Structure 1
Amino acid sequence: MTALTAPAATGTAHTHGSPRLTRWLLRLHRSALLVWTVFVLLGSALLLWLAGPLTDAAAEGWRQYNACGTTPRCSYDQDAILFYKSTYNYVAAAMAGLPFLVAAWAGAALTGRELESGTAQLAWTQGVSPTRWLALRLAVPAVAVTAGASLLVLLHHRAWSAAQGRIDTGKPWHDVWTFHANGPTTVALALAGLVAGALAGLVLRRTLPALLLGLALAAGVWGTAQLLMPHLWPAVTEETSLQQGYGHLYSGIQVDHGLITASGGHVPKLECYTTVSGGCARELEKLDAVGYYSTYHPVSHYWPLQLTTGALVLAVAGLGTAAAFWLLRHRTATPRTTA
C-alpha cells in the first residue's frame, strides 16, 4: 500500500484548540451521534418498561399458571408471558450487537471514509497533526460509547433482577446474552469494536472494505473472549457416584464433565448414564468408572469472570489502539531527502 502523506501546514494555518476540534468532529458525525442517542434512549425506555409493567404482568401470568395445577382449561395470561419473553430477547440481542454496530460505523465513517475522501488530509493542513486527529477520533466516540453502553448495562441488570424468582422462564445469569448484557464486558466489547473499526479504516482507507474488516475484527475479539472466558478464573468441580447419576447439580457455566475412574482419573465428555443399559453399561465397566464429575462456574464467579474477561478485552483494545497510532505515524512520516 502507498504511504499517506501528511501535508505541511500552510503559513496561515494555526493550531486549533481541543474544544474547537471536538465541536467540529461532533458536527461532522452529528448523524451518528443522533442515531446513538436515539438508540440509548429507546433502549433505556424499553428496559425501564421491562423492569416494571412487563415483569409484573408476566409474573402475574405465571402465578395464575402455577395456581392452575392439574385443572383442565385453566385460564392464565399467556400473552403477557410471551410478550415479556420476546421483548427481553430483542433487547438482549440489540445489546449483544453493540460491538458490531460500533465497529461497522468506525470503519466506514470514522476513519475509512475520511481517508478515502481526503477529509483527513485536509485537516492535517490546518495545523492538526495526524496523531492528534486520530486521538480525537478515538477519544470522543469512546466517551459516548462508554456512557451510553454503561447506562444500558445498569438498566438491563435492573430489569433482569426484577424477574428473578417471579418469572419461571427468566434467563439464568449464565445465559450468553444475559451474562454480557448484565455487566461491564458489554462496554469493553463495544470499545474494542470502536478500535477494531478505526484500525480497519486506517489499514484499508476505503469505506465499504473497512466496514467489513471492522466487523470481522470485532467478531474475532468477541469469539476469542467467549472461548477464553471460562478459563480465566479457577472453576469448581463436583463429583457424584454412579448410583446418584450424572446429576446436573450445578447452575452455571460448564467447563468440563465426564466420568471418574477407580484410579481417580477423569474421562472427559463421555455421554453415558447409569439409566442406560447395554453398550453404555459395558463401557462404564470397561473404563472402571466409579462416578461422574462436573467442572463449572457457579454464580459466585460472576464478577471474577466479568472483570477478567473485560480486562482481557480492554487489553486487546489497547494493543489495537497502539497499532493504529503506529500505522498512522508510519504512513504519514515525512520521507527523508538526500542532498
Structure 2
Amino acid sequence: MTALSVPARPEEDASLRPVPWQRMGWVTWRQHRATLAWVTVFLGVLAVAMWQAGRQLHSAYATALAACQPPVHSLACPGATIAFDGTNGFLGNGFLLQAVPVLIGAFAGAPVLARELETGTFRYAWTQAFGRWRWTLAKLVPLAVALAAVAGLFSLVFEWYYQPYFVAANQNLSLTEYTPFFPGLFDLRGIGFAAWTLVAFAIGALAGTLIRRVVPAIAATLVAYTGLAFAAGTWLRPAYMTPVVTSSVNVPGSAWVMSQWWTKGGKFAFSGWPSVRLLNQYCPAGPVGVGPGGKPKAVGLAECLTPHGYTQWTSYQPASRFWPFQWIEGGWLLVLSALLIAVTVWLVRRRAT
C-alpha cells in the first residue's frame, strides 16, 4: 500500500511537529501564485479598458453639461444628452460586469481544494505535518484576503467610471434613471464588489470540498452565486431599512421607489397605473409630461386625479441611505463568507479521505 493511498491524520500524531504558519503561507503562495496572477491581470486589463472607455464617457458628460447649462439650454442640448447616454451603452446598466465576481469565485475558489481532493495530492500534504484544518485555513484565508483586496482596488476604477451617470441623472442629462440603488450597479459599487467577490470565492471553496471535482464545482458555484445574488437583490436588499412613505408627488429623482399606490377617501383605490376607464374619465388628454426613459411623470398624473379625491402614496429609500445599505450588505456577506470557510474547514477535518 503506497503512502498516497493511506488516510493521513497527522494532527493525531504527537511525534510530528506542526509546520509554522509562515511556512504554510509560503507554500500557499507557491501553489496559488498563478491564480493570483491571472486574477490581477484579468482585473487589470478590465480596469484599463474601463479607464479608456471612462475618458470618452467623462468627455461626453462634459459636452452635455456645457450644452445644457441652466438657465438657458442650447439647441445642441438634446443631441449632446443622447450622445452621452449612448456612450458605452453596453456597460451603462452594469449587468455585463455582474459576471466578474462570480467568474473569480468559480475559477479561483472552486479549484483551490477541489483540484487536490480530485487528484489525491492532499494526502501527501497531510503527511508533511500540515494537518487538515491548518492546511485548509492556510489555503483559504490568505487567498480570500488577497482577492478581496484586489477587487477593492478595482472597484475604485469602477466607481470613477460610473460617476457621470449618477451626476447626470440629478441634472436631467440622462435618459435613464440612474440612482444610487440602480439594480445593476449597487452591488458593484462601494464595498459591494469586494464583498461579493469574497463570498463568491467562499462558495467556490465549499463547492469544491463537497463535490471534490473541479469542473462540477465551478458549475455549482455559478448556480449558487446567481441564486444568492438574485435573492439579495429581490428580497433582502429592500428590507435592510424601513422605507419612507410619503403622499408628496415630488419624490427625489435619486430615490429608490419601492412601490406606489393610490387611495380615495382614506381607502385603498389601486396600485401602479390607473385603469383605462379612470384615465378616460379624469385624464382624457393624458398625464402632463414624460419623464426619463419615456415614463409618464407622476406629477402629471396627480394633476388629473388629485382634484377628484385621489391621493398618491410612494414608498421609497432615499439616496442618503446608500452607504448604510452598503455596510449592511457588506457586513452580512462578510459573515456569510466566514461561515462558509468555517464549514469548509470542518468538512475537511471531519470527512474521511
After TM superposition, the score normalised by the length of structure 1 is 0.78
Q: Which runs of 5+ in 2 are unaligned?
A: 285-304
Identity %: 22
Residue in structure 1 matched with residue 223 of structure 2 by the alignment: 216
Aligned to 1:293, the other structure's residue is in SS state strand
Deviations 1:1-27 (A, max 9, x none): xxx985144999754333332232233
- Structure 1 residue 168 and structure 2 residue 170: aligned? no
Q: 1:169 to 1:122 in 2, by over 3 A?
A: farther
Query: Aligned match of 1:69 in 71, 75, 87?
Result: 75
Counterpart amino acid of residue 238 in structure 1: T
Residue in structure 1 matched with residue 348 of structure 2 by the alignment: 328
Query: Aligned match of 1:291 in 293, 303, 311?
Result: 311
Aligned to 2:280, the other structure's residue is in SS state coil
Question: 1:114 deviation in Å?
Answer: 1.3
Aligned-pair Cα RMSD in Å: 3.7
Residue in structure 2 matched with residue 7 of structure 1 by the alignment: 8
d(CA) in 2 for partners of 1:75 and 1:271? 31
d(CA) in 2 for partners of 1:299 and 1:76? 26
Query: Aligned match of 2:239 in 231, 237, 246?
Result: 231
Counterpart amino acid of residue 138 in structure 2: L
Residue in structure 2 matched with residue 157 of structure 1 by the alignment: 159
Question: 1:226 deviation in Å?
Answer: 1.2
Question: 1:276 deviation in Å?
Answer: 1.1
> Conserved in 2, the CA contact under 8 Å of 1:252 and 1:299?
yes
d(CA) in 2 for partners of 1:63 and 1:280? 35
Residue in structure 2 matched with residue 243 of structure 1 by the alignment: none
> Conserved in 1, the CA contact under 8 Å of 2:196 and 2:333?
yes
d(CA) in 1 for partners of 2:229 and 2:199? 9
> Conserved in 1, the CA contact under 8 Å of 2:81 and 2:174?
no
- Structure 1 residue 110 and structure 2 residue 112: aligned? yes
Alignment of 1:41-80 (within 5 A): 41-51=44-54, 53-63=55-65, 66=68, 69=75
Aligned to 2:315, the other structure's residue is in SS state strand
Q: Which runs of 4+ in 1 moved over 4 A?
A: 9-14, 63-68, 74-81, 246-250, 265-268, 278-281
Question: 1:248 deviation in Å?
Answer: 6.4
Query: Aligned match of 1:36 in 35, 39, 55?
Result: 39
Counterpart amino acid of residue 276 in structure 1: L
Q: Which runs of 5+ in 1 are unaligned?
A: 241-245, 334-339
Q: 1:277 to 1:134 in 2, by over 3 A?
A: same
Question: 1:115 deviation in Å?
Answer: 0.3
Q: 1:133 to 1:267 in 2, by over 3 A?
A: farther
Question: 1:214 deviation in Å?
Answer: 1.5
Deviations 1:58-82 (A, max 9, x none): 12443576565289xx986977764
Question: 1:280 deviation in Å?
Answer: 10
Aligned to 1:97, the other structure's residue is in SS state helix
Deviations 1:165-210 (A, max 9, x none): 3863574322222222221122111111111111111111111111
Counterpart amino acid of residue 239 in structure 2: H
